[in-house]
Amino acid sequence: MTVERKPTIREAYVEASSFLQGHRVNEAASCAELLLQHLCGWSRSELLLRWQELFPVERLEEWRRLLERKAAGEPVQYIIGEQEFYGLPFTVNPAVLIPRPETELLVEQVVLLGRKLWSDGSARHKRNDVGADHAERAADRKPDMRQAEGELRLQRREPPLVADIGAGSGAIAVTLAVQCPEWRLMSSDISPAALAIARDNARRNGVEGRVAFLEGDLLKPYIEQGLRLDAVVSNPPYIPEADEEGLQPEVRLYEPPSALYGGKDGLELYRRLIAQLAELAAMPSLVGLEVGMGQASAVAQMLSAAAKWDEVQIIPDLAGIDRHVIAVRYNEPEMQTGSVE
């Protein structure tokens, strides 16, 4: 793209929008605006206020490179290094999936149901949390009462412990920590690179130390530490491998495959995750999962077979697609076979 005279900010925006549209970029105008904000370091309101100013000539070459990257298909979020989620800024790069608006609805439902479950900010069942830096160790607690058949530990009420499985950028866990400061949050991912970004986003949004990050596969880190979780939330990879060629190039060529594909039918991670629920010290009171198109019924059936719930909800997104499956139990969670030392 060449510019023969000094354009105004508005003229540069119009030319960029036309250039991107000519390269069949989706939402070309929005992309041009975001790239302009990034280049100039301005908010949207400042951009509009300075609409008629001359474009900084010394930055024309940089501007051209940004547009060429976008025209080639690179997601604008990776170019500018940021994506907003639930009104919060999140750093993103090709090591993590770009947070989507649909996942905001999952967070919203978890917040609503969690506040109903723990209206006083505390979990309503006996706790036996072991292993997390921010959790007390069961060995350090004194029993409140004894029974003839053994010791029954009745712990004081504690804030609910909520685990986000598949941290990615940290969007779910960090947002929950901001929205529900009385909750304790943990988040895990198999990718060290993703966890580094998630930790950075926790710092960026003022909840550093409020979210404990673990490296590991699905629920394994929590099982190994004997943690008793009150809620499990996850947006796992769910795209069937056969659908890869049909994805938009922005997704297929740039976003991390490990965060996209869920096996042959897209349900592999759900099967493993739901099976692992039985290995936890106790079944959580709330499980919230994001799913792909056409997967909600199958995932709801898996959850229904895994435990006794008071309700299993299927919630559509704003496009009317069944997008989230949420299982809830309002009474005290059942203990699993065996004990936690």
- Kindly give, in sequence order, each residue whose CB lies less than 8 Å from that of residue 258, ignoring residues fewer than 6 positions away: 190, 191, 237
Tokens of 278: 């039985």
Is 189 assigned to a binding site?
yes
Confirm or deny that 170 is annotated as ligand binding. yes
Rounded distance, CA 212 to CA 210, Å?
A: 7
* Contacts (Cβ under 8 Å, ≥6 apart) of 61: none
**Whole-angstrom distance, CA of residue 48 vs CA of residue 43:** 9
Annotated binding residue 237: yes
Q: Establish whether 167 is an annotated binding residue.
A: yes
Q: Is 31 helix (H, G, I), strand (E, B) or coil?
A: helix
- Compute the distance between CA of residue 205 and CA of residue 281 in angstroms, rounded to an integer: 31
Could you tell me the two tokens for 279? 């290995």
Tell me: is residue 236 an annotated ligand-binding position: yes
Query: Any binding-site annotation on 235?
Result: yes
**What pTM, to 2 d.p., does this model score?**
0.84
Residue 271 sits at φ, ψ, to 5 deg, of: -60, -45
Rounded to whole angstroms, how far apart are CA atoms 74 and 336?
47
Q: Given this model, what pLDDT does residue 123 score? A: 65
Structure confidence at residue 6 (pLDDT): 81
Q: What are the extents of the domains in the chain?
A: 9-72, 101-328
Token pair in block for residue 226: 């004997």
Residue-wise pLDDT tens for the chain (341 aa)?
554 568 899 999 999 999 999 999 999 999 999 999 999 999 999 999 999 999 998 999 999 999 999 999 999 999 999 999 999 999 999 999 999 999 999 999 999 999 999 986 666 554 443 333 433 333 333 333 333 223 223 333 689 999 999 999 999 999 999 999 999 999 999 999 999 999 999 999 999 999 999 999 999 999 999 999 999 999 999 999 999 888 888 899 999 999 999 999 999 999 999 999 999 999 999 999 999 999 999 999 999 999 999 999 999 999 999 999 999 998 764 444 333 23
> Known binder of ligand: residue 166?
yes
Could you tell me the CATH superfamily of domain 101-328? Answer: Vaccinia Virus protein VP39 (3.40.50.150)
Kindly state the DSSP code that residue 206 receives in the 8-state scheme: T
Instruction: Extract the runs of DSSP E, i.e. beta strands, from the chain.
Output: 82-85, 88-91, 145-147, 150-152, 161-165, 184-189, 211-215, 231-234, 286-290, 311-316, 322-328
